[in-house]
Amino acid sequence: MSTPSWQHGPSAAADQTSLRRANLGLVLRNLRDRGPRPRARLAADLGLNKATVSSLVAELTARGLVQDGGAERGAVGRPATTVEIDGRRVCGVGAEINVHHVATLALDLHGDVASQRRLSLDAAGQPPEVVIGRLATLLAATMNDLAERDALPVGLVVGSAGLIDSATGTLALAPNLGWRGVPVAALLREQLGEPAYPIEIDNEANLAAVAEATHGHPHQGDILVIHGEVGVGGGIIADGRQIRGHRGYAGEFGHMTVDAQGRRCGCGRRGCWETVVGLSRLLDLAADPDDPVRAPNLGLEARLDEINRRAALGDDRTLVALREVGHGLGIGAAMLANALNPGVIVLSGYFAEVGPWLRDVVEAELAAGVLAADAGGTTVALSTLGFTAAVRGGAAVAVEHVFDDPTVVDRRVPEELGVIS
C-alpha cells in the first residue's frame, strides 16, 4: 500500500522539525533538572531509543549546549561517558529600569552569573529616552563582558515597575517614573543597533517571582512575591505557573486601596497600599526632610544600611517607623493570602533589606487577618537576592528560551569545534 502523498508534503516536514525541536529541548531540560548521565540512561529516562538520543546529543553538542563529561560514577564494568550541559557558550540577559537605577545581569545555562552591572540615577527626573540610553550603554558593556568569555546573548528581558504591554514591548503606565506609553523595546533595539537577539519587556515584580521560584524556596510552586521599593508590586506563581492576568497586568498589589482618605499616590488616587508601605512612607516616618538618610544623592543600599544601623542601635523613631510599615504590610499580605492562599509569601526588594525588623509584625498580622487556621499554611520568607531579583528573573526568562527551543542557538562552525574540514 502506497503512502498518501499528503504525508510527504510541507506539513509533514514541519511536524518532523517541530518534533525534533521539542526533543532537543526535552534532552536539554532533563540534563539541567536531573544532572549528567550516559546516553543510554538518558534514552531510558526519556522513553526514546538510543539512536535518537545519540543524534539529539550530537546536535546539541554542535550547538555548544552539551559536552561529554566524566565517567559514570558507581558503574559496574566499563563505565560509560556521561553527557552534561555546557553552559559557557550562551547567556540570557536581564535588565531593569528602576526609579533609582538601571541594572543588567547575565546568566549562563548553569545559572551562573556571567556579568553584573548597575548604575545609580534619578530615572523619574529624566526623559525616557535618556534613561533608556543609559541602560543601552550599560547593556553594551554587558555584551562586551560576554564577548570576552566567548558567550553569545540569546535574549534580553527588561523589567520595570508599572503596566507592561508585553506584545508591543511598551511600558503602558509607570506612575512612579512618570512614564506613559513608552516603547521601551523599540527604543532599546534602536539604541543597541538592531541586535539579532529578541528583546522583551515585563513587570519587574513578575520577574522577581520567577527568580524566587527557581531559587529553592519550600513550596516554590506556590509563591507570592511582594516586591517593594518606591512602589509596591507582586508576582504570583500558582501550581508552578505564573499568573499574569487577562492582559498581563496581574500583581499590581501596590494600588489596592487600603485607606480611602489616605495619602495621594503616584497613580493619582488616594490610599493605595504603596502609600502606606512603600519606601517613601518609611523615610517620611523615620526621618525629617533634611536628615542625611534622605539625601537625594545617597544610594539605595546606603540609605537602607543607615536605617538598619539606627534600628540596631535602638533608635525609637526608626523602630516605630518600621513597626508601622510592617503593620501595613501584614494587613495587605493577609488580604492577598485570603484570596490566593500561597505556600510562601516572599518579601523582596527593600522589604527584604529591612526584613528582620518587619517579619514578626507581618507574621502576626497574617495570623490575625487570614480566615483559615495557621494562616492557611502560608509562611513568610525574606528574599536573599537583594535588589537583583528582578534583573536575575529577566535573565532566567531569557535563558529559558534555549531550553524551550535549543535551535535558537546556531551550530558552531568546524573551527570552533576543533574540527579540520
Contacts of 6 (CB under 8 A, 6+ apart): 12
What is the Cβ-side half-sphere exposure of residue 8, based on CA atoms within 13 angstroms? 4
Mean pLDDT of 185-209: 93
Residue 19 CA: distances (Å) to CA of 136, 282, 406: 37, 54, 12
pLDDT at 248: 80
Question: 86-111 b/e with 16+ CB inside 10 Å = b?
Answer: bbbbbbbbbbbbbbbbbbbbbbbbee
Q: What are the two backbone dihedrals, phi and then psi, of residue 230, each rounded to the nearest 5 degrees?
A: -60, -45
Answer for the pair 153, 91: CB distance below 8 angstroms, yes or no.
Answer: yes
Residue 1 CA: distances (Å) to CA of 9, 12, 169, 398: 18, 19, 52, 48
pLDDT surpasses 60 at 415 = no
pLDDT surpasses 50 at 1 = no
pLDDT surpasses 90 at 214 = no
Q: Which residues pair with 272 in a beta bridge?
A: 257
Q: What are the two backbone dihedrals, phi and then psi, of residue 223, each rounded to the nearest 5 degrees?
A: -120, 140
pLDDT at 78: 66
pLDDT at 10: 55
CA angle 381, 382, 387 (to 5 degrees): 145
Cell, residue 9: 508534503
User: What percent of the chain has a predicted confidence (pLDDT) above 70?
Assistant: 91
Contacts of 149 (CB under 8 A, 6+ apart): 88, 114
Choosing among 3.30.420.40, 3.30.9.10, 3.40.50.720, 3.40.50.10680, the CATH entry for 90-207+390-408 is 3.30.420.40
The CATH number given to 15-71+82-86 is: 1.10.10.10
Domain coordinates of the chain in residue numbers? Answer: 15-71+82-86, 90-207+390-408, 218-384
Domain 218-384 is classified in which CATH homologous superfamily? ATPase, nucleotide binding domain (3.30.420.40)
Contacts of 380 (CB under 8 A, 6+ apart): 333, 344, 345, 347, 359, 362, 363, 366
| Fold equal for 90-207+390-408 and 218-384 | yes
What is the Cβ-side half-sphere exposure of residue 117, based on CA atoms within 13 angstroms? 20
pLDDT surpasses 50 at 416 = no
Q: What is the pLDDT of residues 113-158, one digit of tens each?
A: 999 999 988 888 789 999 999 999 999 999 999 999 999 999 999 9
Q: What is the pLDDT of residues 284-313, one digit of tens each?
A: 999 999 999 998 888 888 999 999 999 999
* Helix runs in 183-341, H state only: 184-191, 204-213, 273-277, 279-286, 300-312, 316-340
Cell, residue 200: 522583551
pLDDT at 14: 61
Kindly report the average pLDDT of the chain as a whole number: 88
Q: What are the two backbone dihedrals, phi and then psi, of residue 159, each rounded to the nearest 5 degrees?
A: -105, 145
Residue 381 DSSP class: E
Picking from 124, 128, 135, the residue whose alpha carbon sits closest to that of residue 280 is: 124
3-state secondary structure of 280: helix
More confident residue, 344 or 299: 344
Confidence of residue 357 (pLDDT cuts 50, 70, 90): very high
pLDDT at 413: 42
Sort strands 90-97 and 152-160 into parallel, antiparallel or unpaired. parallel
pLDDT surpasses 50 at 208 = yes
Answer for the pair 232, 278: CB distance below 8 angstroms, yes or no.
Answer: yes
Sign of CA dihedral 144, 214, 391, 353: negative
Answer for the pair 148, 91: CB distance below 8 angstroms, yes or no.
Answer: no
Sign of CA dihedral 327, 333, 339, 345: negative
- CA torsion 214-220-225-227 (nearest 10°) is -30
Rounded to 10 deg, the angle between the 10-34 and 39-46 helix axes is 110
The length of the chain, given as a count of residues: 421
> Going edge to edge, which strands form the sheet with 179-182?
163-165, 170-174, 179-182
